[in-house]
A and B are shown apart, each in its own frame.
Chain A
């Protein structure tokens, strides 16, 4: 064969610019591009899941409403839950870790750039697979559509006898596929943070964001693996007649619950710890003080991770566990409150004595603190096993986990997006729109989710497509539905802000917030190689040391 020239760049002459950019996104292994693609795809799925939720709230606004049929409603809440956890939460945290960890530790990329791209595309196509079910699941039998078994898909609802067609198979396969992506990205984050730290960046000088990313990634490894195993077992059940979960053939319905929640509960912490990570970077900068008690903040999150692996059966207090089991899991659940409390108090300690600047990132952090506190306390109530016998599977639980995942997780992520958007894009998000976004979201959030606690106290079970009059649930459901309008308005402003500021935002410069970690030491957006020369650090706030040579941090370490 004749020798050929090696083409170093794609042939640019024939392709339009848009196709080139698309080509670039498809083949890129740059951690920053992949990070933004993760966050971008997550936000698109977020809007979709929000629309699903809006239809549900429309249906529940009044008793005996007939906006959608029961079958459609059951698909709505299944798709909403699955999307929010696996296609919104997971990619957004993966994206933020991807974007920020190498920059914060002074590295040029992730340890395994191609694994990184692989992880993204697994997630992306896993997500498309889930939504493809709307078209394809009916198959030739016409029995089925999108999954309708709830986001935790309790067996034996997923057995062939109760779930005909292929809707459950789409659910299983899409989670299996996107789960592989999550595991790949977790391995990558750990390898990067452990082996690519710049000179002087010891473990105890890592920004807390990186510490928390490591912990989250370990939890992903430990939690996603049993989930993937369970998904494979379910596929074996459905296609090869294995009998793990098929109760009609002697399988165990409770076994699935154990598998699912040994993933499912750590999953809550997998999502919330990156939000903690955002707070741990943002609160110090906007309080103008270092994080209060760095070592105990690290210890607390490691404790949370350990304990959270031993609390899963608090989702199962009503399955008739032996009393000893109930007491054990109530105990472990209460124990999580201790390190979590430490974190809240240390953030308060950071604010105390500082000079607080209420820019949008800080506003979202304060919203987080307020809502996460309530979420934690309702969590303590649910951990009280006997109280849980009443509250379990009621609207109180719906309110509780939306407090954690919207009131806390999403607020933390929004804080992070307002904080790091200027780094990624080179332009600041509009401050006024940001403040409007914050307040509309706060008002909408509380209107929607506060009343649901009371509906739960009054005995309203979750996952019902309709309810009768006279149980006292009407008013709470109506308020709850009204709140969606304010939330949707807030999110719309956020999207407008993201798009508009991309072209018209105020130029950010390298370091718009006067911050202290390494990502602010390079240009905005950073070049593909991140740093011209790799930095050398002497403390956990290298930019503070640069800005205050008279009083550097390393003197106190």
Chain B
């Protein structure tokens, strides 16, 4: 069963036109739901194809009837003023177009039920990677309880290989309002709801970065609550885990920035493991520079943008909950220099 799912690669011809239309724009980073790269997304994809095919067939049938009626029975210039035959209905015909849709509906229900069972009923394997995702206004916190890692906005997982399946199970929680975890190529979305624990799983089968977004409106910066899932080959993932578990860098050259960081209110919200910075309101910065982006995908994480971000996050992500700290240029240089050491 698993190998069949994983080897699933051929695409049915039915939606070729549709998918072609989407490819026509040649995006750099596709997040096309018709290009699934993970087991639950595959299941959804197959159910979707069936729904599309059924709907296309109904569409063609009805449109042909509609156009035929319009063309064939339109009033022509030379017509006399007489009324057409008055037909009040036909029990047989009406019965036919009641029963046929019922049969179609039964098929759709069975497929939906089976897909729901496949995805939601999938038991968590003992070797699954467990991650807790916490939605926050407007960023993501990822905790790996078994590995002791806390990171933000970029979820790192191992790739699933045909010989060695590797599934990641997510526990979804929220610290404030409702968010929704949506990485289209990996799985359908599931909401992160305060006072409630949800679950979902992914099984990416290609290494690389998968893009996604928060999909439930969650306030001012819902738009820039972007999401990245980075799938690594097993050895690479082990390397990532090791580096994340290492203590925060202690570069003596950045000690001025470090002292400044620890003496300002940065520490009220941010944590750097092994220091007195233990805030939990904002992202953990212990390995800040291992991340690709700042502000949950609001800007690329490079020295220039990092400086702009620390100077005034509101200019990059208006309305976000991190205030501009009113630092002098010298203070900015020192703090950024320190942050840049947190690899």
**Interface of A toward B, CB cutoff 8 Å:** 69-71, 74, 148, 150, 154, 156-157, 161-162, 247-248, 250-254, 287-290, 292-296, 318-320, 323, 326-327, 330-331, 334-335, 337-338, 341-342, 344-346, 348-349, 351-358, 366, 369-370, 373-374, 377-378, 380-381, 383-394, 454, 457-459, 461-468, 470-472, 474-475, 548, 551, 553, 556
Which of A157, A295, A353, A380 makes the CB contact (< 8 A) with B73? Answer: A353
**Interface of B toward A, CB cutoff 8 Å:** 18, 21-22, 25-34, 41, 43-44, 47-48, 51-52, 54-55, 58-59, 62-63, 65-66, 69-70, 73-75, 79, 83-90, 93-94, 97-98, 101-102, 105, 108-109, 111-113, 115-117, 119-121, 137, 172, 176-178, 180, 182, 184, 187-191, 193-196, 198-199, 211-224, 226, 297, 318-319
Sorted nearest first, the 8 A-B pairs with minimum C-beta distance are A389-B188, A472-B27, A459-B31, A464-B223, A293-B89, A320-B198, A247-B194, A470-B28
CB distance from B293 to the nearest CB of A (A): 10
Residues of B within 8 A of A287 (CB): 73, 84
Known: A156-B176, A292-B90, A393-B215. 9 other contacts (CB 8 A): A74-B220, A248-B194, A289-B85, A289-B86, A294-B88, A342-B98, A373-B66, A380-B108, A454-B22
Q: Which residue of A lies closest to B46 (CB)?
A: A386
Whether A459 lies near B214 (C-beta < 8 A) is no
Bound: A250/B196 CA distance, A: 10
Say yes or no: A390-B69 contact (C-beta < 8 A), given A71-B220, A296-B94, A467-B223. Answer: no
CB distance from B89 to the nearest CB of A (A): 4
Whether A319 lies near B59 (C-beta < 8 A) is no
Bound: A380/B52 CA distance, A: 9
Whether A342 lies near B215 (C-beta < 8 A) is no
Secondary structure of the B side of the interface? Answer: mixed
Whether A290 lies near B196 (C-beta < 8 A) is no
Whether B220 lies near A390 (C-beta < 8 A) is no
Bound: A471/B318 CA distance, A: 22
Bound: A464/B226 CA distance, A: 11
Bound: A386/B32 CA distance, A: 16
List the count of A-B residue pairs having beta carbons below 8 Å apart. 297
Say yes or no: A353-B87 contact (C-beta < 8 A), given A458-B22, A472-B30. Answer: yes
Q: Which residue of B lies closest to A292 (CB)?
A: B89
Whether B116 lies near A323 (C-beta < 8 A) is yes
Whether B75 lies near A357 (C-beta < 8 A) is yes
Residues of A within 8 A of B22 (CB): 454, 457-458, 472
Residues of B within 8 A of A384 (CB): 47-48, 51, 108, 111-112
Bound: A319/B196 CA distance, A: 10
Bound: A306/B123 CA distance, A: 37
Residues of B within 8 A of A394 (CB): 215
Bound: A531/B123 CA distance, A: 71
Q: Which residue of A lies closest to B23 (CB)?
A: A472
Bound: A358/B75 CA distance, A: 8
Bound: A517/B104 CA distance, A: 37
Bound: A344/B98 CA distance, A: 11
Whether A253 lies near B195 (C-beta < 8 A) is yes
Residues of B within 8 A of A374 (CB): 59
Say yes or no: A250-B86 contact (C-beta < 8 A), given A356-B75, A470-B29. Answer: no
Whether B116 lies near A288 (C-beta < 8 A) is no
Say yes or no: A156-B177 contact (C-beta < 8 A), given A348-B62, A351-B69. Answer: yes
Whether A253 lies near B194 (C-beta < 8 A) is yes
Could you write out 21 A-B pairs with CB less than 8 Å apart? Answer: A154-B217, A162-B137, A254-B196, A288-B83, A292-B89, A292-B90, A320-B199, A330-B112, A335-B105, A357-B75, A366-B66, A366-B70, A380-B55, A381-B48, A385-B115, A388-B188, A389-B188, A458-B27, A459-B211, A471-B27, A471-B30
Bound: A464/B227 CA distance, A: 14
Residues of A within 8 A of B190 (CB): 318, 320, 389
Bound: A556/B87 CA distance, A: 11
Residues of B within 8 A of A294 (CB): 88-89
Residues of B within 8 A of A148 (CB): 220
Whether A338 lies near B198 (C-beta < 8 A) is no
Whether A380 lies near B51 (C-beta < 8 A) is yes
Whether A466 lies near B223 (C-beta < 8 A) is yes
Which of B70, B178, B194 makes the CB contact (< 8 A) with A356? Answer: B70
Most interface-central of A70, A161, A162, A467 (chain B CB within 10 A)? A70
Whether A254 lies near B34 (C-beta < 8 A) is no
Whether B195 lies near A319 (C-beta < 8 A) is no
CB distance from A359 to the nearest CB of B (A): 10
Q: Which residue of A lies closest to B214 (CB)?
A: A461
Whether B195 lies near A251 (C-beta < 8 A) is yes
Bound: A553/B87 CA distance, A: 11
Say yes or no: A345-B97 contact (C-beta < 8 A), given A337-B105, A373-B59, A387-B51. Answer: yes
Residues of A within 8 A of B116 (CB): 323, 326-327, 330, 385-386
Q: Which residue of B lies closest to A451 (CB)?
A: B21
Whether B44 lies near A390 (C-beta < 8 A) is yes
Residues of B within 8 A of A459 (CB): 31-33, 182, 184, 211-213
Whether A377 lies near B85 (C-beta < 8 A) is no
Residues of A within 8 A of B117 (CB): 323
Bound: A366/B73 CA distance, A: 14
Whether B84 lies near A386 (C-beta < 8 A) is no
Whether B189 lies near A392 (C-beta < 8 A) is yes
CB distance from B120 to the nearest CB of A (A): 5
Residues of B within 8 A of A454 (CB): 21-22
Bound: A243/B216 CA distance, A: 22
Which of B18, B113, B193, B220 makes the CB contact (< 8 A) with A253? Answer: B193
Residues of B within 8 A of A457 (CB): 18, 22, 32-34
Which of A247, A351, A381 makes the CB contact (< 8 A) with B195? Answer: A247
Residues of A within 8 A of B214 (CB): 461
Whether B220 lies near A381 (C-beta < 8 A) is no
Bound: A390/B319 CA distance, A: 28
Whether B52 lies near A381 (C-beta < 8 A) is yes
Bound: A427/B24 CA distance, A: 50
Most interface-central of B21, B43, B101 (chain A CB within 10 A)? B101
Whether B88 lies near A556 (C-beta < 8 A) is yes
Bound: A327/B18 CA distance, A: 28
CB distance from B198 to the nearest CB of A (A): 4
Most interface-central of A337, A459, A467, A556 (chain B CB within 10 A)? A459
Which of A338, A392, A467, A471 makes the CB contact (< 8 A) with B105? Answer: A338
Whether B25 lies near A463 (C-beta < 8 A) is no
Whether B196 lies near A381 (C-beta < 8 A) is no
Q: Which residue of A lies closest to B89 (CB)?
A: A293
Q: Which residue of B lies closest to A540 (CB)?
A: B88
Residues of A within 8 A of B218 (CB): 157
Bound: A474/B212 CA distance, A: 16
Q: Which residue of B lies closest to A458 (CB)?
A: B32
Say yes or no: A354-B215 contact (C-beta < 8 A), given A327-B113, A373-B63. Answer: no
Whether B184 lies near A370 (C-beta < 8 A) is no
Bound: A335/B113 CA distance, A: 15
Residues of B within 8 A of A335 (CB): 105
Bound: A376/B120 CA distance, A: 27
Residues of B within 8 A of A556 (CB): 88
